[in-house]
Amino acid sequence: MSMYDGGDFMFQAVPIFIGIIFVIVISFVLFTAIKGVSQWNQNNQSPVMNVRAKVLGKRTAVKGGGESRAYNHYFITFEMESGDRMELKVKDADYGMLVEGDEGELTFQGTRYLGFERQGLKAQR
């Protein structure tokens, strides 16, 4: 038995390990793509809804950064007249135009934000 016998195991294990990592990465990419297409299709099948709502909260989430480009995602939580709450992803311009406490007509389709038309003006102090 020579000191190189253990090296044979490494030459056999490394390609298997790389293959397993490759399968995991490809599976994750496929899962994410299928989930996105499924959500897109579900939104398209949903009716366009117009409801009275109030802006409850706003938040941002940063994706990426470091060695890659960072992306900001903007979310607004709405409360409908029924008391139900829904958080929707919105564009940066819509995020900047809405303020917590704004009331108006929310238009959405499934989980897709389509717009918010403010009703009346809040009293200024």
pLDDT digits 0-9 by tens, 19-46: 899 999 999 999 999 998 988 888 889 9
User: For residue 1, what pLDDT is reported?
Assistant: 47
Characterize the bridge pairing of strands 48-64 and 70-80. Answer: antiparallel
The stretches in the chain having pLDDT less than 50 are 1, 123-125
User: For residue 93, what pLDDT is reported?
Assistant: 94
User: For residue 96, what pLDDT is reported?
Assistant: 93
CB-facing half-sphere around the CA of 78: CA atoms within 13 A:
28
User: For residue 10, what pLDDT is reported?
Assistant: 66
- pTM confidence score: 0.71
